């Protein structure tokens, strides 16, 4: 009996210690994002959270592109808990939130005394985490605002001999372009294959959203549209004369890009610019900082930054509209640590952490963006603040991945000459409407579609007056 009692006590002690060990085992939160400077900054800052909260934050980082999207989508489809938080593209909010996979953040924001709706720019909340549009339902917080901008070689633009030769040929001053027609002239002027120099660099790749993030910018600036979100019409919008003008201009610019650009994405554009092989490049602000990194860039002391040009469309209106990028950070509904994930998100989105993060990437925290110190962090923040007034996005629909893949295919068909621009956009419009109808949307035909239908594009028109222009 005595031996039995001793064994029983030892067993109870072992059970208690085992329970305490389990209880004291630190929680680890996993964040899915594409590899890069923003994700690395988050994980580095999160080391301080482990010190104050005892919760470790690790990354499941994958290459940018379909692998990143598919990693999130497949885990959601399986209702898995393989990650706790994920950063996804703005246009994926509809897909993931619409599928019921994300935690609604409204109750948390309403109760928090550290982070709430007023912490962020209203536009950033809408762009990176609201679904459906206009509902006020928030499923992600803006973790990386982004849009396309222009990088150029100041040494070329400011060279007196180049300026003189350009004016003699084109009849106006060589300066950072205000219109795409000016950009085309400059690209043509600096295209000198025998010297290893080309006038322009842009994406042309079939993968993910490479070529369409570029072509959309031209469609919108020339007065075209991807669709009418009120009626779900695509025909008459995507294949309108204005949209055709924009895509033709985009395709034509490849004459002044380095050979092989039809397959390029951000890496190739970055390298071409960093090596000084091109005079100008259309690129995400996300990558601007790499131009100032002497370990990879040969143009550190020669580079300039600007917002993208605009163009006068068929209707005589000047528009400056370009693709937005960036991500929101949301919580996996199937996570085993939803409350802990919110506590980390709440901590990370506060001004102290976001000011540190803003040294590398663009935050949505309005208190950071209103702080004069933010403007001094780099030479292009002042441009970025202005540029975000001219953005537009893809469709905010759960069917976004299907629509994107179709459009990528057809734009690339036009780019590589498999189809004319007119045929590619016509086929894309037909296929998009077929997918929308298959998904259950009712297409309501309207009469008298304007020749330049941009005002019916997704979101609000961000066209600006020509004289409202900044260059630093």
Going by pLDDT thresholds of 50, 70 and 90, the confidence category of residue 26 is confident
Going by pLDDT thresholds of 50, 70 and 90, the confidence category of residue 24 is low
The confidence score (pLDDT) of residue 273 equals: 98
Over 50: is that where the pLDDT of 449 sits? yes
Running DSSP on this structure, what letter comes out for residue 179?
Answer: B
The confidence score (pLDDT) of residue 457 equals: 56
At residue 425's C-alpha, the angle toward residues 423 and 427, to 5°, is 65
The confidence score (pLDDT) of residue 28 equals: 98
Among left, alpha and beta (phi > 0; psi -120 to 50; other), residue 41 is alpha
Going by pLDDT thresholds of 50, 70 and 90, the confidence category of residue 454 is confident
Give the closest residue to 210 by CA, choosing from 275, 282, 153, 289: 282
The confidence score (pLDDT) of residue 35 equals: 96
Give the closest residue to 344 by CA, choosing from 127, 90, 55, 124: 55
Over 80: is that where the pLDDT of 202 sits? yes
Over 70: is that where the pLDDT of 18 sits? no
Q: Which of 29-43, 73-87, 442-456 has the lowest mean pLDDT?
A: 442-456
Over 70: is that where the pLDDT of 169 sits? yes
Going by pLDDT thresholds of 50, 70 and 90, the confidence category of residue 414 is very high
- Measured CA to CA, the distance from residue 143 to residue 39 in angstroms comes to 10
Q: Residue 18: exposed, middle, or buried by beta-carbon count in 10 A (0-12, 13-18, 19+)?
A: exposed
Q: Which pTM was predicted?
A: 0.91
The CB density around residue 465, as the number of other CB atoms within 10 Å, is: 9
Over 70: is that where the pLDDT of 462 sits? no
Over 50: is that where the pLDDT of 155 sits? yes
Classify 197 as helix, strand or coil. Answer: strand
Q: Which residue has the higher pLDDT, 461 or 30?
A: 30
Asked whether the beta carbons of 270 and 288 are under 8 A apart, the reply is no
Q: Which of 91-95, 392-396, 451-455 has the lowest mean pLDDT?
A: 451-455
Over 80: is that where the pLDDT of 23 sits? no
Going by pLDDT thresholds of 50, 70 and 90, the confidence category of residue 469 is very low
Span 112-153, pLDDT tens digits: 999 999 999 999 999 999 999 999 999 999 999 999 999 999
Over 80: is that where the pLDDT of 343 sits? yes
Contacts of residue 338, defined as CB under 8 A and 6 or more positions apart, other chains included, come to 84, 103, 331, 332
- Measured CA to CA, the distance from residue 92 to residue 402 in angstroms comes to 12
Span 262-279, pLDDT tens digits: 999 999 999 999 999 999
> What end-to-end distance do the CA atoms of the chain give, in Å?
88
Going by pLDDT thresholds of 50, 70 and 90, the confidence category of residue 461 is very low
Overall size of the chain counted in residues: 472
Going by pLDDT thresholds of 50, 70 and 90, the confidence category of residue 387 is very high
The tokens describing 212, both together, are 């369409």
Going by pLDDT thresholds of 50, 70 and 90, the confidence category of residue 62 is very high
Contacts of residue 396, defined as CB under 8 A and 6 or more positions apart, other chains included, come to 91, 93, 94, 131, 132, 133, 458
The confidence score (pLDDT) of residue 46 equals: 98
- Measured CA to CA, the distance from residue 10 to residue 289 in angstroms comes to 61
Going by pLDDT thresholds of 50, 70 and 90, the confidence category of residue 330 is very high
The tokens describing 28, both together, are 């680890």
In the chain, the domains with their CATH numbers are: 15-146+326-392 (3.40.190.10), 147-323+398-456 (3.40.190.10)
Residue listed under structure tokens 């994958």: 62
Mean pLDDT of the chain, nearest integer? 92
The tokens describing 273, both together, are 């610019």
């Amino acid at each position: 009996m005595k031996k039995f009692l001793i064994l029983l006590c030892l067993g109870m002690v072992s059970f208690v210690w085992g329970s305490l060990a389990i209880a004291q085992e630190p929680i680890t939160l996993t964040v899915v994002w594409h590899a890069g400077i923003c994700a690395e900054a988050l994980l580095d800052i999160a080391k301080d959270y482990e010190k104050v909260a005892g919760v470790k934050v690790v990354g499941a980082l994958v290459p940018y592109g379909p692998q990143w999207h598919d990693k999130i989508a497949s885990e959601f489809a399986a209702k898995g808990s393989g990650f706790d938080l994920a950063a996804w593209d703005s246009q994926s909010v509809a897909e993931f939130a619409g599928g019921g996979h994300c935690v609604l953040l409204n109750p948390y924001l309403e109760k928090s005394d550290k982070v709430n709706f007023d912490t962020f720019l209203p536009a950033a909340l809408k762009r990176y985490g609201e679904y459906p549009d206009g509902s006020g339902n928030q499923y992600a917080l803006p973790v990386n605002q982004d849009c396309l901008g222009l990088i150029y070689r100041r040494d070329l633009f400011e060279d007196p001999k180049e300026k003189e030769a350009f004016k003699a040929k084109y009849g106006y001053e060589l300066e950072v372009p205000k219109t795409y027609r000016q950009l085309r002239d400059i690209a043509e002027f600096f295209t000198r294959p025998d010297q290893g120099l080309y006038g322009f660099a842009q994406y042309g790749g079939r993968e993910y959203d490479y070529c369409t993030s570029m072509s959309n910018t031209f469609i919108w600036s020339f007065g075209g549209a991807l669709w009418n979100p009120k009626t779900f019409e695509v025909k008459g919008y995507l294949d309108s004369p204005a949209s055709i003008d924009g895509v033709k201009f985009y395709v034509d610019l490849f004459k002044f890009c380095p050979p092989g650009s039809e397959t390029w994405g951000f890496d190739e554009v970055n390298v071409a610019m960093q090596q000084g092989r091109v005079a100008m490049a259309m690129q995400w602000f996300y990558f601007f900082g790499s131009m100032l990194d002497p370990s990879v860039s040969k143009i550190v002391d020669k580079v300039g930054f600007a917002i993208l040009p605009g163009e006068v469309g068929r209707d005589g209106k000047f528009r400056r509209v370009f693709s937005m990028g960036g991500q929101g950070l949301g919580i996996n509904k199937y996570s085993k640590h939803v409350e802990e994930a919110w506590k980390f998100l709440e901590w990370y989105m506060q001004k102290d952490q976001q000011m540190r993060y803003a040294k590398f990437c663009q935050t949505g925290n309005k208190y950071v963006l209103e702080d004069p110190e933010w403007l001094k962090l780099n030479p292009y923040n002042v441009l970025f603040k202005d540029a975000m007034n001219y953005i537009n996005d893809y469709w905010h629909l759960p069917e976004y991945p299907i629509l994107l893949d179709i459009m990528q295919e057809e734009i690339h068909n036009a780019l590589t000459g498999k189809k004319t621009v007119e045929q590619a956009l016509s086929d894309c419009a037909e296929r998009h409407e077929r997918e929308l109808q298959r998904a259950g949307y009712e297409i309501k035909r309207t009469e008298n579609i304007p020749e330049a239908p941009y005002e019916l594009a997704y979101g609000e028109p961000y066209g600006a007056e020509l004289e409202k222009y900044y260059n630093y």
